[in-house]
Structure 1
Amino acid sequence: MYTMNRTATTEMEVTSIRLERDLKDRLKDLAGNQGYQALIRDVLWNYVQQKSGDYQPQLSPEEIRASVEATAQTEERCVLTGKLIRPQERMLLGLTKSGEMVPLSVESLAR
């Protein structure tokens, strides 16, 4: 996930957002010591980067344990190279050390 340089909270604008109690509780569980508001900011920054084309790779090849061939059903971005993967294009799904499945371009693991 995207991690940006932290801005002091005194320099941030206050925004109110309504969340279901269950969603807020789950975000708190996922955030741990980071805090759920910081997690929400990271998620939003990651989304903005992906949609704006400013995407930065999130993983290194060493973090991929295994990969399987797949076909993209929706537009994806390779987590290693940032390359756009279009619908119906061949791709790989990579299993990370943390157990997540992530999109990979076919050439991203070639050495």
Structure 2
Amino acid sequence: MHTLTRTPTTEMEVTSIRLERELKEKLKELAGNQGYQALIRDLLWNYVQQKSGDYRPQFSRADIRASLAATAQKEEHCVLTGKLIRPQEPMLLGLTTNGDMVPLSLESLAG
């Protein structure tokens, strides 16, 4: 999950949101010591950044469990190097430890 600079809660606006009891309990389980409200803020920030095009997940080679050859169908950026991968260029798809498939440049796993 994308880590943001923490704003003190005293500088935040209070907002009320209604959640199903089951959803709130699941969020509490997932959040652990972080607290479910902080988890909800992280989720909302990630959503906003993804939709605005500002989101750039941070991965390392240790996060990649497996890779397979692929061909880019649209412009992509390697999650390890940031290198541009143009449409129809060969690339790799990396399976992360979280089960996500991410774009990788051919040379990103070398060496």
TM-score by length of 1: 0.71
| Higher deviation after alignment, 54-63 or 39-48 | 54-63
Paired with 1:100 and 1:29, the residues of 2 have a C-alpha distance of: 20
| Higher deviation after alignment, 76-85 or 3-12 | 76-85
Q: Taking every aligned residue pair, what percent have the same amino acid on both sides?
A: 69
Report what 1:15 is aligned to: 15
RMSD, aligned CA: 3.3
Matches within 5 A, 1:65-84: 65-69=65-69, 79-80=79-80
Contact 1:31 1:39 in 2 (8 A): yes
Q: Which runs of 5+ in 2 are unaligned?
A: none
Q: Which runs of 5+ in 1 are unaligned?
A: none
Report what 2:57 is aligned to: 57
Letter in structure 2 aligned against 1:45: W
Task: After TM superposition, give the deviation of residue 51 of structure 1 in Å.
Answer: 1.4
Task: After TM superposition, give the deviation of residue 102 of structure 1 in Å.
Answer: 3.0
- 3-state SS, counterpart of residue 68 of structure 1: strand
The number of aligned residues is 110
* Greater Rg over alpha carbons, structure: 2
Report what 1:109 is aligned to: 108
